[in-house]
Structure 1
Amino acid sequence: MSDRDPLNDLGFDGPASARVYDYSLGGKDNYGPDRSAASDALDAYSVAHLLPRENRKFMRRAVRYLLDAGVRQFVDLGCGLPGKGNVHDLAHGADPDAKVVYVDNDPVAVVHFQSLLHSVPGATAINADARHPDAILSHPELTALIDFDRPVGILMISMLDWIPDEDDPDTLVAAFREALSPGGHLVICDFLSDNLSEADRATHRELTERYGISLTFRSSERFKGFFDGLNLVEPGLVLAPEWRPDRPYDPPSGWLLAGVGRKP
């Protein structure tokens, strides 16, 4: 008999990013370690409670913008666990023939999406790592649904913060960007370093050491490079709540930068 613990192999022995995020949004698919990590972050940062909803609301606005622009194919990288108002819900609400592929390296998140999508035509979820874009772009389940000769919306919503600089996020973003045909879009929302105080940085280091979950904050200048060769959609790179707001919003946390680029 193997000495491996299948629950530990799935990450149940410690916090997992998808489940921490699920708890922060009021979800139920999380465990004690996830709740502890999320609660400590919420206690440590005065703006932390704003982040999940800023992120989620931006995603919905961006997807609706792409739908209005005629995009009917979506690849959601680092999708995490299902929630309310998922990409396929929005896309199929506009066009039942829209295609959506969710991608995550967390097998638990993928299983949850696969269970949700088993009777949903035109949508699937695959277990893959965004650090290996060629494997994703050539994955048979993705190529069965997504035609990169036509416009595709690639979503990187709170995904790049999990990719440290030593794993070369610029190259992986470039690979997905170059796969786009004219009219395709790249959507990014992620952690911004510009407004962090020294106390914030110190707390981040302490929480990283405690829970082993490390986030990478990047400057607005670094974000600009992710959109090389694309035309930024107005209003450009802005704090997430300021990107085409459709209703009044709380003062931004200042921690999430968001933008949408279109392939000319």
Structure 2
Amino acid sequence: MTDQTGAPGNDADALFDDLPSNIDTDVFSVARLYDFLLGGKHNFAPDRDFGRRLLAIEPNGRMILQQNRLWLARAMRVMLADGVRQFLDLGSGIPTQGYVHELAHAVDPAAKVVYIDNDPPAVSHSNYILRDGANAGAVQADMIDAERVLGDPTVKSLIDFDQPVGITALAAWHFVDDKDDPAGVLAAYRRTLAPGSYLALTHATIDGATGDIVRNVQSQYQAVMKNPSPRTRDQIAGFFEGFEILEPGIVNLPAWRPDRPEDAEGAEHVWFYGALGRLAAPA
């Protein structure tokens, strides 16, 4: 069954009898919004209502988030091929629909993954999804509080910072306001990382012909949550200080190492940039 937007229907709004009690199905969640737009099942009526409003402004919304996940798969392929076996995902939302732990464990079931999100219901929902695995967990913390995240017992038990780590931040860093020093926060994480670690980041941009659409989407978010901050390529480049940005650089998602040349067609309509940076050994 599908709804009018083409996503799987979810009339019962209670797919699981044993959901954690702090998940309020009557309150909007950006984590569940993304799940809805990706065609997942971990979403409820307020999330779908907001998602439909966004799709009325940007009909390509589903495709853009699908491209975000496809980009992650390609970036994970690079990191895993380089031997990275532990990942810290910042601003994770709900890890469904082929996310970091699934991609990592498909290559190595012993790979370690920790998800970080500041939304208690999203973290509860995440740990519900991860409940059968010992090598992945979710932590409630604000991703911009690097000291708190890095000192968390779950993070410390699963992640060995003496070995390379993949830091992933997918469609999350544009929710960090300039006053919170997004580049400085990422630098705090970088200082804990061993050589060979990576930063994988996707970020909404106001560059290009889609700028007006992005601003209209931004105005919708203002009514329900912290105002997102889409940025330019140069601003996003500043987040990679200390990392070598791998080819092809900071580009629209489909143009980043597409599996087939035709997969990059229409990349200019995807108003997210993606980039992968590798931390080299100190000179």
| Divergent runs of 4+, >3 A | 9-14, 196-199, 208-213
2:138 corresponds, among 108, 111, 125, to 125
Which one of the candidate residues 231, 246, 266 is aligned to 1:251? 266
Q: Does 1:113 align with 2:102?
A: no
Contact 1:13 / 1:33 at 8 angstroms: preserved in 2?
yes
**2:206 equivalent to 1:190:** no
Contact 2:244 2:279 in 1 (8 A): yes
Tell me which residue corresponds to 2:6: none
Q: In structure 2, how many angstroms separate the alpha carbons of the residues matched to 1:176 and 1:185?
A: 11
Provide the C-alpha distance between the structure 1 equivalents of 2:108 and 2:130, rounded to a whole number of angstroms: 16
Counterpart code for 1:112: H
Q: 1:92 maps to which residue? A: 105
The SS at the match of 2:123 is: helix
Which TM-score applies when normalising by structure 2?
0.84
1:81 counterpart residue number: 94
CA distance in 2, matches of 1:13, 1:213: 19
Q: Deviations over 1:144-163 (max 9, x none)?
A: 11111110000011110111
Partner of 2:278: 262
Q: Secondary structure at the match of 2:138?
A: strand
Does structure 2 retain, via aligned residues, the 8 Å contact 1:102–1:124? yes
Does structure 2 conserve the Cα–Cα contact (< 8 Å) formed by 1:79 and 1:103? yes
Matched residue type, 1:124: G
For 2:62 and 2:182, the matched residues in 1 are separated by: 27
- Aligned with 1:179: secondary structure? coil
Aligned pair partner of 2:78 in 47, 52, 65: 65
* CA displacement at 1:126 relative to structure 2: 0.9
Residue 88 and residue 205 in structure 1: after superposition, are their counterparts in 2 closer, same or farther (change >3 A)? Answer: closer
Partner deviation per Cα, 1:56-93 (whole Å, 9 max, x = no partner) = 11111111110001101101111111322221112112
1:12-91 to 2 correspondence within 5 Å?
12-91=25-104
| Aligned-pair CA distance for 1:112 | 2.1
Residues in 2 aligned to 1:205 and 1:66: alpha-carbon distance in whole angstroms: 32
C-alpha distance 128-54 of structure 1, shift in aligned 2 (>3 A):
same
Q: Mean Cα displacement is larger for which, 199-208 or 123-132?
A: 199-208
Q: C-alpha root-mean-square deviation of aligned residues, in Å?
A: 2.1
More displaced 10-residue stretch of structure 1: 53-62 or 212-221: 212-221
Preserved CA contact (<8 Å) 1:37 1:211: no
SS of 1:187's partner is: strand
Secondary structure, aligned partner of 2:227: coil
> What percentage of aligned pairs have identical amino acids?
37
Read off the aligned partner of 1:39 and give its amino acid letter.
R
Corresponding residue for 1:170? 183
1:146 paired with 2:162, answer no
Asked if the contact 1:195/1:254 (under 8 Å) is kept, the reply is no
Alignment correspondent of 2:13: none
**CA 1:212/1:143 → structure 2, altered by over 3 Å: closer, same or farther?**
closer
Q: Secondary structure at the match of 2:191?
A: helix
CA distance in structure 1 between the aligned counterparts of 2:252 and 2:147, rounded to whole angstroms? 31
**Higher mean C-alpha deviation, range 203-212 or range 172-181:** 203-212
Distance in 2, Cα, partners of 1:201 & 1:158: 13
Q: Tell which has more relative contact order, 1 or 2 (C-alpha 8 A, sep 6+).
A: 1
